[in-house]
Every structure is written in C-alpha cells, then in structure tokens.
A and B are shown apart, each in its own frame.
Chain A
Amino acid sequence: ELKVEQNPLFLSMQEGKNYTIYCNYSTTSDRLYWYRQDPGKSLESLFVLLSNGAVKQEGRLMASLDTKARLSTLHITAAVHDLSATYFCAVDPGTYKYIFGTGTRLKVLA
C-alpha cells in the first residue's frame, strides 16, 4: 500500500527565516506534485517533479525530488506572511490513483 508522509504537520515560522517541508513516500514513483491550499479554498498546483534530481523554483519556494530516497522537499527561503497556507505533496504511482500527504499547515508570523 502506497503511503505518503509529510513532516512537519504544523509549522510556525518567523518572517525572513528558511525552512524545509519533507515528503516521504513508500513505493517507486517518479511523479510527485506539490499543491497549496488557502483556508476554505481549493488546491492550486505549485510544482510538478517528473524525474530523479528534478528541481523547480518559483519565487521563495523550491521543490526537489530524490526518487532513490523516495523523498521530496519543499524549501522556503526568507518566508513572508503571504506564504501562510497548507502545502500538500501527492504521488502518482502511474495508475491514476494519486495519494496525497496529510499536508503541512504553515503559518508565517510577522
């Protein structure tokens, strides 16, 4: 059974600080996605990682994928309040049966 674990589940950080969210998964896959969800809203796509060593960056967020370690990271650089949201990783095992992590609720304090 494919499992996707994120940590931490909750993260409170000061503006200007750096931090990393981790996403571990339990089966072979080279397709991993990161999404953002604001409270009471839908999910929006942030990054699509499709191969070992893939790295994508958008603004203060950078995502990477290590398929051998079955690990993806979402790194936040110099956090700002607008990044406060819940972040989900999702793994596609190639069968359309996507598995989402439980999410990391990020709060950036001014």
Chain B
Amino acid sequence: IAGITQAPTSQILAAGRRMTLRCTQDMRHNAMYWYRQDLGLGLRLIHYSNTAGTTGKGEVPDGYSVSRANTDDFPLTLASAVPSQTSVYFCASSEGPGLPQHFGDGTRLSIL
C-alpha cells in the first residue's frame, strides 16, 4: 500500500542522546515535511523540503536537522535531545502546492 512509513513508532530517549527519526514515502512526492504535535498547540512545522537536495526551516527548527538525499527519504535528526522535544512527530508529503499532504502514522518520542 502506497504511503509514508515512519520509524520508530515510539522511543524513550535519555537527554543528550542523538536520535534520527526515519521517514520514507513511495508516492514519488516532491515535497516532504516534518511536524511536531503538542497538546493545545496543533501541528508545528519543523523543516520542509520542496524537492530532493533542498531543505528549509519551518516554524520551530531549533535543535533539529534534516537531509533530503533522494525523493523518498527525509530523516529528522535531534543532535542532542532535550526534554522539551518530547512530542509526537509526523512526517508528511505532497505532490506540490495546492494539493493535500499525506501523513505518516507518527513517532511518539519521550526525552527523559
């Protein structure tokens, strides 16, 4: 079934550790996104990529980095995790402007 795969599903991580959340799509969408969802705050954009090889900062990029080496993969890295990064992380993709985003199932991340 075509879609977006995120891994891991959930993770508990010690503060200060490095963590990479994986996101892979098989729809050949040009644009990909990373959001964090926190209670009462909705979804906030962390980073985006409008095409392979290009990335951009969203609303809350600090403490996170991304790469887009190819069309299908868009990993999100926390270089040194802090408790305030405890959240649910969603990866999404879209064919382009004016088209809806397709979301993965999310990664629930707890930083202790």
Instruction: Please tell me which one of the listed residues A33, A99, A101, A103 contacts residue B100 in the complex, with CB atoms under 8 A apart.
Output: A33
Name the one of B31, B44, B105, B106 contacting A96, with C-beta atoms under 8 angstroms: B31
The chain B residue sitting closest to A48, CB to CB, is B100
Residue of A nearest to B6 (CB): A42
Q: Which residues of B contact A101 (CB under 8 A)?
A: 42
Q: A33 is contacted by which of B31, B35, B101 (Cβ under 8 Å)?
A: B101
**In the complex, chain A residues whose CB is within 8 Å of the CB of B71:** none
Name which residue of chain B comes closest to A51, CB basis.
B98
- Once bound together, how far apart are the Cα atoms of A101 and B37, in whole Å? 11
Determine if B42 and A100 form an interchain contact, defined as CB atoms under 8 angstroms apart: yes
Question: Which residues of B from 23 to 43 have beta carbons under 8 Å from A?
Answer: 31, 33, 35, 40-43
- Bound complex: CA A35 to CA B105 (Å): 14
Partner-B contacts on A (CB < 8 A): 31, 33, 35, 41-45, 48, 50, 88, 90, 92, 94, 96-103
Binding site for A on B (CB under 8 A): 31, 33, 35, 40-45, 48, 50, 56, 58-59, 90, 92, 97-106
**What are 11 inter-chain pairs, A to B, with CB distance below 8 A?**
A31-B98, A33-B101, A42-B90, A43-B43, A43-B101, A43-B103, A88-B43, A92-B98, A96-B48, A96-B50, A102-B40
Q: Identify 16 new A-B residue pairs, CB closer than 8 A, beyond the known A42-B90, A90-B43, A97-B58.
A: A31-B97, A31-B98, A43-B43, A43-B92, A43-B103, A45-B101, A48-B98, A48-B99, A50-B98, A92-B97, A96-B56, A97-B48, A101-B42, A102-B40, A102-B41, A103-B42
